[in-house]
Chain A
Amino acid sequence: MLLPAGALAVPAPRWLDSMTPTPVVPPPVPLPAGALRTLATSPVNVTSIAYDLTLDPTTGAASGTVTVELGSPTVAITGLLLYMDPGLAVTAASSSTGGATTSVDDAWGYRYVSVSLAQPAPSGSAASVTIDFSGTLACPDQQGRQSCSMQQELSYALQGSALPGVYDQFQVGGFNAWPAERALTLRTPVGVSAVASGELTSESTEAGMLVRKWTTPGYASAGGYLVVLGQLETSPIAGGSLPSSVVYAKSMPNFTAKMGSWMGSILPFVDAQAGAPLPYPQLSVVKLPAGQGFPGTAGHGITLLSESYGGYGDAYFEETLAHEHAHQWWGVLVSPSDVGVTRLLTEGLATQTQVHYAARLLDGDARERFLSRRLREHQMLLRYHTNPAELPALVVASPQLAPADSVGHTVWAYIKSSATLEHLRAAIGDAAYAELLVKYAAKCQMAACATADFTAVAEQVSGESLTAFMSQWVYATNYPELRLSFSEQPAAEGVEVTLQVSGAEGLEVPLALLVTLETGEVLRRRVTLPKTGEAVSFQVPSAVRSVRPSARHDAVIWSRSAQDGDVDFDGEVDGFDLLYCARTVGMNTGLYQEGGEGLWQMNLDFDPRCDGVFDGQMTTADLGGIFAAFGSLREPKP
């Protein structure tokens, strides 16, 4: 299916379906094969969408107009498809070409309004279509989420409810609504507070109603388009690069002080990641009440997150807020036009951001240890909770090929995407990766870009071809099971280490290595294993104890020592291997464990390398391989 604006979400607690990327499901009119279009190929563009909406959140009564301007240089425009709340009725329709007629279908919790122009607008011309509507918002369940919620202290309406969305449907017009500039005039009873995506341009009182106007510049964006209103309170956020505040339901101030404090760290972190401050006059960070319709999203100048994430501990709530706010860049301001077939650069980048935000205060070995443990969540979800062989590539051929089930979609969109980006980050190095994000943001901010643009920038900053990387891990799936061994030879200056790897033949595998010397010092080396499977070598100053790939590859590259029973990659099986794994006896990979961590409450101390039987349960049987080989040592060093 196509992905309209309003697409960004965070994983919902406990696999709720509400992180499904789009609130819009296929309309009753069947889409033709290959209906996905990108900005580059869409023959019709929507240039503006303007709303004039009167809304009383205490009753859900809504009335208004939506005016859509669209044009095409190549095809005649015959109509368009809108989707809105099923409680709203179309009361009038008109067009700049001399009238319009409408027909209505209700499906999936939406009302689809098909608008036909009385006279098609010829190619090369523009058309304007205006629909009047009124009614009481029904806000029904829509596949586990709601486009609106009314009669609450904090009510909201997303696009597709009181703000009719423009459906990108080939059969009706073939336009693409993303680059449309938007304007919202909202009329509410006096005393109702409101924030919305876009930039507030005026606030006044007319005929006893509060009237607020927002505009959103026209640029391709997968960000949410919405208004939040009710009895709201705001609390300023200190430390950001733009005026920001936490917005919340007046009687529910819990978490807001923490969220404000966290945003004081998140704002500069995300600014630094993108290399620029957010280009908004102000930012609203909305705390959504728990269990109310949707878990979070981000739009132009607005970040929203449900307090239900507070149920997983402060640290996880904070990093999830970082995820959602990271969408300001990775999804709102920078939206790949192929987002219908991939979440790599939206959910993948946002999830990676949350992990690195959590690690921001660490460096060196402590950071590596933190990341290796934190990323176990990715490794276990990919290895144990989904079938790696069935989960599709990160860019699929058509939207219908993306996993539709909740678990599969979450792991594909969030976990596999971010794990692969982490594999890339480790491969090209943190410095190059940081430069990549800055340059990608600069190149693609409010611009028509796609995954290929990200790749091009990555190649530029790394100085390396990423053709193999992308084809192996983004456009296809590969989980090579590497077996590593190393040997040492005296060299002119120090020691030459030769790394022999099996299991990756036919793949080109970039690896960040952690090389621990006998002195205890840990060095970092980057190598690329050739497709031929030939050994690679590198030099270090002195004798080596162990050579292991950075655990940041682990979810994608399943590396193990060539020596059975050797868990710590020193080529030997000793007490360190045994006791490391013995500690985890009794642990398992299950979800929602007592004392578990993160959204899925998993035991991040579970190490799949210890799971010799590979059943997700650590028992003494898993130690069998270690016992069998215990005491196996490398040849004494020369």
Chain B
Amino acid sequence: MRRCFATLLCGALALATLGCSQDDPPKQAAGPRQDFVADSPVGGPALSLRLSSKSATSLTLQIVGSGIAETSGVAYRLSYDAAVLSYSAQRVGAGFSAVGDTVAAAKESRPGLLVGAVGVQGLGTLKAQDVVLAEVDFALPGKGQTRVDFVPGRSAALDAQSAPLPGVSLLGGSLTVR
């Protein structure tokens, strides 16, 4: 019965491996389990989300910059289903910390909408070639599925003058908590 359910679920969501085999050791002793599937890279500079760690009650997503020659910071908004995700904390990624003093802020302005920023304080830029720019911790208030997306027009990697860099793709992902 259990196997059948798992197969159906995996098939329905076209998820390949995580937690789909009865033979896998259980990753979590109890509570909900999560699957985060990042959007596929599209080539060129991008801001993307990557699953960093997860527990029974929380999840950490990394904001990763790739193919960005020079950036001084990232201003972003993330949208998601508030029934599934709830913002807890943000940390500046190792990339910006290596440049010098950093600045960061994040607030869940409304349920399901996180407004955030991480970047360099003062002058300085970072070459972001697959670099973690920020880490965002979420709590998991309930089960379900949600897209986690950067809000276009309100999310950007900024250049040395703090102007949005053009041509940077915004890649989110899909989260399932069950």
Query: B158 on the interface (CB 8 Å rule)?
Result: yes
Question: Restricting to B117-135, which residues have a CB under 8 Å from any CB of A?
Answer: 117-123
Q: Which residues of A contact B153 (CB under 8 A)?
A: 518, 520, 545
Decide yes or no: A631 and B75 within 8 Å by CB, A518-B153, A585-B122 being known contacts.
no
Measured between C-beta atoms, what is the minimum distance from B100 to chain A in Å? 10
Interface size on B, residues (CB 8 A): 31
Query: A614 on the interface (CB 8 Å rule)?
Result: no
The answer to whether A579 touches B122 (Cβ under 8 A) is no
Residues of chain B touching chain A, judged by Cβ–Cβ distance below 8 Å, are 72-77, 101, 103, 105-110, 113, 115-123, 153-154, 156, 158, 161-162, 164
Partner of A579, one of B72, B113, B115, B154: B72
Q: Which residues of B contact A583 (CB under 8 A)?
A: 72-73, 119-123, 161-162
Q: Which of B118, B153, B162 is most buried by chain A, counting CB atoms within 10 A of its CB?
A: B162
> Please, could you name 7 A-B residue pairs with CB atoms under 8 Å apart, sorted by A?
A578-B117, A579-B73, A583-B121, A620-B121, A627-B105, A631-B105, A631-B106
Smallest CB gap from B115: residue in A: A631
The answer to whether A575 touches B110 (Cβ under 8 A) is no
Smallest CB gap from A545: residue in B: B153
Q: How far is the CA of A477 from the CA of B139 in the complex (A)?
A: 56
The answer to whether A623 touches B103 (Cβ under 8 A) is yes
Contact flags (1/0) for A499-543 with B, using CB distance below 8 Å? 000000000000000000010100000000000000000000000
The answer to whether B103 touches A582 (Cβ under 8 A) is yes
The answer to whether B119 touches A582 (Cβ under 8 A) is yes
Measured between C-beta atoms, what is the minimum distance from B103 to chain A in Å? 4
Q: How far is the CA of A633 from the CA of B108 in the complex (A)?
A: 11
Measured between C-beta atoms, what is the minimum distance from B47 to chain A in Å? 12
The answer to whether B107 touches A579 (Cβ under 8 A) is no
Q: Which residues of B contact A576 (CB under 8 A)?
A: 75, 117, 156, 158, 162, 164
Q: Which residues of A contact B122 (CB under 8 A)?
A: 582-583, 585-586
The answer to whether A633 touches B72 (Cβ under 8 A) is no
Shortest 10 CB-CB contacts between residues of A and residues of B: A575-B75, A575-B117, A631-B107, A579-B73, A582-B103, A631-B109, A631-B115, A580-B162, A630-B105, A579-B119
The answer to whether B74 touches A575 (Cβ under 8 A) is yes
Query: A168 on the interface (CB 8 Å rule)?
Result: no
Smallest CB gap from A618: residue in B: B122
The answer to whether B121 touches A585 (Cβ under 8 A) is yes
The answer to whether A631 touches B108 (Cβ under 8 A) is yes
Contact flags (1/0) for A541-580 with B, using CB distance below 8 Å? 0000100000000000000000000000000001110111
Q: Which of A582, A620, A623, A633 is most buried by chain B, counting CB atoms within 10 A of its CB?
A: A582
Measured between C-beta atoms, what is the minimum distance from A273 to chain B in Å? 30
Q: Which residues of B contact A627 (CB under 8 A)?
A: 105
Q: How far is the CA of A307 from the CA of B116 in the complex (A)?
A: 50
Q: How far is the CA of A623 from the CA of B101 in the complex (A)?
A: 14
Query: A632 on the interface (CB 8 Å rule)?
Result: yes
Measured between C-beta atoms, what is the minimum distance from B136 to chain A in Å? 13
Smallest CB gap from B76: residue in A: A575
Contact flags (1/0) for A597-638 with B, using CB distance below 8 Å? 000000001000000000000001001001100111100000
The answer to whether A633 touches B121 (Cβ under 8 A) is no
The answer to whether B73 touches A582 (Cβ under 8 A) is yes
Decide yes or no: A579 and B162 within 8 Å by CB, A574-B115, A631-B115 being known contacts.
yes
The answer to whether B117 touches A632 (Cβ under 8 A) is no
Q: How far is the CA of A605 from the CA of B161 in the complex (A)?
A: 9
Partner of A582, one of B74, B115, B120, B161: B120
The answer to whether A578 touches B105 (Cβ under 8 A) is yes
Q: How far is the CA of A578 from the CA of B108 in the complex (A)?
A: 16
Decide yes or no: A579 and B158 within 8 Å by CB, A545-B153, A574-B115 being known contacts.
yes
Smallest CB gap from B155: residue in A: A575
Smallest CB gap from B105: residue in A: A630
Measured between C-beta atoms, what is the minimum distance from A359 to chain B in Å? 17
Q: Which residues of A contact B103 (CB under 8 A)?
A: 578-579, 582, 585, 620, 623
Q: Which residues of A contact B75 (CB under 8 A)?
A: 574-576, 578-579
Measured between C-beta atoms, what is the minimum distance from B152 to chain A in Å? 10
The answer to whether B117 touches A579 (Cβ under 8 A) is yes
Q: How far is the CA of A585 from the CA of B106 in the complex (A)?
A: 19
Smallest CB gap from B118: residue in A: A575
Known: A582-B119, A582-B122, A627-B105. 5 other contacts (CB 8 A): A518-B153, A520-B153, A583-B122, A626-B105, A630-B107
Measured between C-beta atoms, what is the minimum distance from A636 to chain B in Å? 8
Q: How far is the CA of A72 from the CA of B109 in the complex (A)?
A: 78
Measured between C-beta atoms, what is the minimum distance from A590 to chain B in Å? 16
Smallest CB gap from A584: residue in B: B122
The answer to whether B116 touches A575 (Cβ under 8 A) is yes
Measured between C-beta atoms, what is the minimum distance from B118 to chain A in Å? 8
Q: Which residues of B contact A585 (CB under 8 A)?
A: 101, 103, 121-122
Measured between C-beta atoms, what is the minimum distance from A65 to chain B in Å? 62
Q: How far is the CA of A630 from the CA of B105 in the complex (A)?
A: 7
The answer to whether B121 touches A574 (Cβ under 8 A) is no
Measured between C-beta atoms, what is the minimum distance from A499 to chain B in Å? 21
Q: How far is the CA of A599 from the CA of B10 in the complex (A)?
A: 69
Measured between C-beta atoms, what is the minimum distance from A274 to chain B in Å? 35
The answer to whether A574 touches B77 (Cβ under 8 A) is yes
Smallest CB gap from B124: residue in A: A583
Q: How far is the CA of A579 from the CA of B156 in the complex (A)?
A: 11
Q: Which residues of A contact B119 (CB under 8 A)?
A: 575, 578-579, 582-583
Q: How far is the CA of A631 from the CA of B113 in the complex (A)?
A: 10
Q: Which residues of B contact A632 (CB under 8 A)?
A: 109
Smallest CB gap from A519: residue in B: B153
Smallest CB gap from B110: residue in A: A633
Q: How far is the CA of A518 from the CA of B162 in the complex (A)?
A: 19
Q: How far is the CA of A631 from the CA of B74 in the complex (A)?
A: 15
Decide yes or no: A575 and B73 within 8 Å by CB, A520-B153, A582-B103, A631-B115 being known contacts.
yes
Q: Which residues of A contact B164 (CB under 8 A)?
A: 576
Measured between C-beta atoms, what is the minimum distance from A75 to chain B in Å? 64
Smallest CB gap from B117: residue in A: A575
Q: Which residues of B contact A620 (CB under 8 A)?
A: 103, 121
Q: How far is the CA of A627 from the CA of B116 in the complex (A)?
A: 11
The answer to whether A575 touches B109 (Cβ under 8 A) is no
Partner of A630, one of B72, B115, B123, B158: B115
The answer to whether A575 touches B72 (Cβ under 8 A) is no
Measured between C-beta atoms, what is the minimum distance from A175 to chain B in Å? 57
Q: How far is the CA of A583 from the CA of B110 in the complex (A)?
A: 27
Q: How far is the CA of A580 from the CA of B109 in the complex (A)?
A: 20
Q: Which residues of A contact B121 (CB under 8 A)?
A: 582-583, 585, 620
Measured between C-beta atoms, what is the minimum distance from A364 to chain B in Å? 15
Measured between C-beta atoms, what is the minimum distance from A352 to chain B in Å? 25
Q: Which residues of B contact A623 (CB under 8 A)?
A: 103
Q: Which residues of A contact B107 (CB under 8 A)?
A: 630-631
The answer to whether B105 touches A575 (Cβ under 8 A) is yes
Q: Which residues of A contact B161 (CB under 8 A)?
A: 583, 605
